[in-house]
Amino acid sequence: MNALILVVLVWVAERSAGNVISRLDARLTENEIYYGQNDIFSDIDNIDWSNVDTARIMVIFPGTNWCGTGNISANNDDLGIFEETDKCCREHDFCDDVIAAQETKYNLTNTAFYSRLNCRCDEKFKSCLKEVGSIVSGKVGEIYFNLLNTQCFRKDYPATCTSSTILQRCTEYEYDTSQEQIYQWFYVPYYNS
């Protein structure tokens, strides 16, 4: 989790906290913008935290409005300076099959502090990030797919883990096709830039 803290900022939805990244020329690529924003982390010191409602603190990847817990967009068309990556995150947020934190659906209970999605939405998200192919989309992919150790759900034949990492993250499954398909949790595959 320490690596996650190094990459992700606590981003505040309150407009009173100020937008520390201004919109840049849309002709720049995400990589050009990324390299031009190395001082973004120092700008956090300029936020007046006394005006911030701590209940609205969210973890959002810098330069995006949709990549993190919830979103900080003014509306559905409001994207951060890393627009292409943000479009992937926005589409992911609009997945039509979600189990919210601490809720139960399909006889599965989501014990995570964030929503978990149908595996097809996570697969689409991963493909979108890879298609963008920027440093930022790669970082977002690494955080979501590699560091969070999250799971998705889908209906499939009962699965048994046959191979896992040292951290007990399943990487291969065996399916019992003699039984009925059921909804179950699966670890999302690793993201490789």
Residues marked as catalytic: 92, 122
Concatenated DSSP letters for 158-171? -EEEEEE-TT--EE
Tokens linked to 43: 């700008």
CA distance 187 to 59: 22
CA distance 106 to 83: 34
Cβ contact 48:17 at 8 Å: yes
Q: Which long-range contacts (CB under 8 A, 24 or more apart) does 176-183 make?
A: 181/155, 181/156, 181/157, 182/107, 182/155, 182/156, 182/158, 183/106, 183/107, 183/108, 183/153, 183/154, 183/155
